[in-house]
Amino acid sequence: MSIPIRVLMVEDSEDDAALIVRELKRSGYDPAVERVDTSDAMNKALVEQTWDIVICDYRMPAFSAPDALMLLKNSGLDLPFIIVSGSAGEDHAVAAMKDGAHDYIMKDNLSRLIPAVERELREVRVRRERDQAEEMIRFLAYHDSLTALPNRTLLRDRLERAILDAQRENRPLAFLLMDLDRFKEINDTLGHHRGDQLLQQVGPRVQNLLRGSDTVARFGGDEFAVLLPHTGAEGAAETAQKILKALQPPFTIDNLPIHVEASIGIALYPEHGTGSENLIQRADVAMYAAKRNGSGYVSYAPEQDQHSPRRLALMGELRQAIEQNQLFLHYQPKISLLTGRIIGVEALVRWQHPEYGFVPPDQFIGPAEQTGLIHPLTQWVLDTALRQCQVWREEGLDIRVAINLSVRNLQDLQLPGQVAERLQNYALSSDRLDLEITESAIMADPTRALQVLTGLDQLGIGLSIDDFGTGYSSLGYLKKLPVDTIKVDKSFVMDMVSDESDTAIVKCAIAFGHNLGLKVVAEGVENRETWNRLAALGCDSAQGYYMSRPIPSAELARWIGESPWGLK
C-alpha cells in the first residue's frame, strides 16, 4: 500500500522534479504533485489546494527558495519546507534553515530526502495536534462547552471592563441573572440529554433580543447571565420583560413541546454595587426573591438579603449535622487504565438529614462556602478520610484517598499546617493523600491559592485539578501551578462515545495534560465503550459508575476483594 502525499514542488526543471517524484515512489509514497516556478503560481496553489509538504529548488530563473519561504510564512500555513538543490553553497543553506526551512538536501545526494520527508511529516503532525489542543482548551477556558456561550470567566471579565467604562463615562449598567424554573424536574422526567438540548436553545432566544454589545453567558447549571452596558433601571426591566416573553412559546425537543419559565434578578451599577462580585451577588439575591414571589423578575433591594437564598436555610442545620454525625463519606474507586487495578479512592461527603433525608453535596457545599461552615466541614472530611485510610492500611489495603477542597479552603493559609498535623496523627505518609481543587476555586484569588498550594505541594501531597474543561481558568496560569493531575470533567466523558465533539475535547484535555507532564484522570465513565476509548486515547486512569458508584467504606473492602478492578 503506497502512502498518498500531496507535494507542492517549487522547481523550474521538469527533469529534477521527476527525479524527486521517482525517489518518493521508490520509498512507498504515492505523490500528487503540482510544479510551480513563480511566486504567483505558488501563491495560487497554496490558496486553492491543501498540501502535505513543499519541496523547493534553491535558485530558479524567476524565483528562489528564500522568496518561496517568505511566501509560505506569510500564508500562515505550517507546512514542512525542504530545499532540494544543486550546489547553492553552505552559507545559503544555513541562512535558509535560519529562516525556517526544515532541511537542505543536495540533488546529488537524494538518499537523504526520504528520511527528511518522514521526519518533517511526523513533526508537523505533532505540532498541529498540540496547536489544536491548545486552541480548543483556550476556547474552553472562556466558553461553556454545552452552549458555546461565554462562561463565567469571560462574563466576569466583560463585567469588570463594562464597570470601568461605566465609571469613566458616568453611565449606568445592568446585570441580570436568570434561572430556569423547575429545570431539575425537566431533567429528571425527560432525561439530561433533553435538558441539555433545552439549555442549548435558551441562549439563542435571549441573544436575539439583545444588542451586539450585550453579553449572554451561561453562569452554571440552568443559570444564565445577561450584561447590559449603558442601561439603567427602566431599560433593565424592559429587557427582563422581553426575555420572559421570548421564553413563553414552547421549545421543541424531540418533537415534544416544552414550556419553560424563568426568574430574573436585576442588579444595577452604581445603585446596587460598584464591583463585579457585588453586582453578581445582588443579582443572585434578587433572582431568589423573584423565584419566591413568582413575579418573573425583581430588582435588587436590601430587604431581600435577610431572607435571601433558600439554599441558606439549611445552614443552621449543617453546623449541627457536623457535630451530630449526620454526615458520612462514600468512596469511589479510581482505576488505572494501564493496569486495570484500583489506585485510589475519592471521598465524597453525604448528608442524611433527619427530616429531608438525603441531601446531595451540590446543595450544601456552596452555601457552606458562603457561611464559612466549609472550614469545619473540610476538617471533618479530612479527619474521617484519613482515619479510614489508616484502617485500610491496617487491613493490608494500600489505598490513596482524595478529598475535595473548595474556594475558602484554598485561601486558608493554615491549611497546609493542619493537613501536615493530621497526616502525622494517623501516621500516614503524605503521598497517601490527594487533594482535588477546581479551577474556579484557584482563580478566586490566584496569588493566595498559589501560596496554599505550594505549601501543600511541599508536604508531598498529590494535587489534582478537578472538573477540568469546565473552563474557569487561564491556561497560562495553570501551567505554573504545582499540580500533578487533571481530572477531565464528567460532562465531557459521559457522552463521549456518542458525541464526537466530546471525544475531541477529552482527547485535547489528555494531550494538554500530557504536554505539561501531568497525569490525566477521566471521571464519569459509565460504560465499557468509554473505558476502551479512554484507554486507546492514552488516558491514565478513570473513575465512574461503570466500575463503581461512590460506596460506603465497608462495601469498598468487599468490592476490592470481588471486582475485577480490585487489588488482588
Which residues sit at the interface with Mg ion, rule CB under 5 A? 404, 436, 466-467
Residue 2 CA neighbour count, 13 Å, CB half: 12
Identify which of residues 179 and 467 has a Cβ nearer to ligand C2E in the complex.
Answer: 467
Residues forming a β-bridge with 464: 436, 485
- Helix axis angle, 152-169 relative to 113-142, nearest 10°? 60
Q: Using CA atoms, how far apart are residues 247 and 262, in angstroms rounded to an integer?
A: 8
- In this complex, which beta carbon is closest to ligand C2E, that of residue 276 or of residue 485? 485
Smallest gap from Cβ 502 to ligand C2E, in A, equals 14
Q: Could you give the dihedral angle defined by the CA atoms of residues 447, 449, 454 and 460, in that order, rounded to the nearest 10 degrees?
A: -170
Q: Report, in Å, the least distance between residue 368 CB and ligand C2E.
A: 8
> For ligand C2E, which is the closer residue by CB, 72 or 402?
402
Cα separations in angstroms, 277 against 54, 160, 273, 283, 373: 53, 9, 9, 10, 20
Nearest distance in Å: CB 556, ligand C2E: 14
Helix (H, G, I), strand (E, B) or coil at 357: strand
The nearer residue to Mg ion, 120 or 467, going by C-beta atoms, is 467
The option from ligand C2E, Mg ion, none interacting with 80 (CB < 5 to 8 A, set by class) reads: none
Question: Residue 362 binds which one of Mg ion, ligand C2E, none, with CB within 5 to 8 A depending on kind?
Answer: ligand C2E
Whole-number Å distance between alpha carbons of 65 and 71: 10
Least separation in angstroms between CB 524 and Mg ion: 8
- Nearer Cβ to ligand C2E, position 337 or 494? 494
Cα atoms in the Cβ-side hemisphere of radius 13 Å centred on 119: 9
Residue closer to Mg ion, measured from CB, 181 or 484: 484
The entry of ligand C2E, Mg ion, none that residue 360 binds, CB within 5 to 8 Å by partner kind: ligand C2E
Residue nearest to ligand C2E (CB): 544
CB 472 → ligand C2E: shortest distance, Å? 13
The residue (of 114 and 551) whose beta carbon lies closer to ligand C2E is 551
State how far the Cα of 217 lies from the Cα of 278, in Å rounded to an integer. 18
Q: Which does residue 361 touch among Mg ion, ligand C2E, none (CB within 5 to 8 A, set by kind)?
A: ligand C2E
As measured in angstroms, the least distance from the Cβ of 555 to Mg ion is: 19
- Considering Cα of 136, then 139, then 141, then 146, what sign does the dihedral take? negative
User: Which residue type occupies 566?
Assistant: G
Residue 376: what residue type? Answer: P
Listed in sequence order, the residues at least 6 apart from 488 whose beta carbon sits closer than 8 Å to its beta carbon are 468, 469, 506, 509, 510, 520, 521, 522, 523, 539
User: Could you identify the residue written with the cell 415534544?
Assistant: 256
Grid coordinates belonging to 413: 493559609
37/466 with CB nearer ligand C2E: 466
CB under 5 to 8 A by kind: which of ligand C2E, Mg ion, none does 218 bind? none
Q: How far is the CB of 466 from ligand C2E (least distance, A)?
A: 5
DSSP state of 489: -
Integer angstrom CA distances of residue 213 from 37, 177, 227, 234, 283: 48, 17, 9, 18, 20
Q: 545 touches which of Mg ion, ligand C2E, none (CB within 5 to 8 A by kind)?
A: ligand C2E
Give contact residues for ligand C2E (rule: CB under 6 A).
Answer: 332, 348-349, 360-362, 365, 381, 403-406, 436, 466-467, 490, 494, 523-526, 543-545, 550
Closest CB to Mg ion among residues 155, 349: 349
Length of the chain in residues, anyone?
568
CB 266 within 8 A of CB 174: yes
Least separation, in Å, of the C-beta of 331 and Mg ion?
Answer: 12
Shortest Cβ distance from residue 99 to Mg ion (Å)?
47
Q: Please choose which of Mg ion, ligand C2E, none residue 64 contacts, taking the beta carbon within 5 to 8 angstroms, the exact cut-off set by kind.
A: none
Which among ligand C2E, Mg ion, none contacts residue 198 (Cβ within 5 to 8 A by kind)?
Answer: none
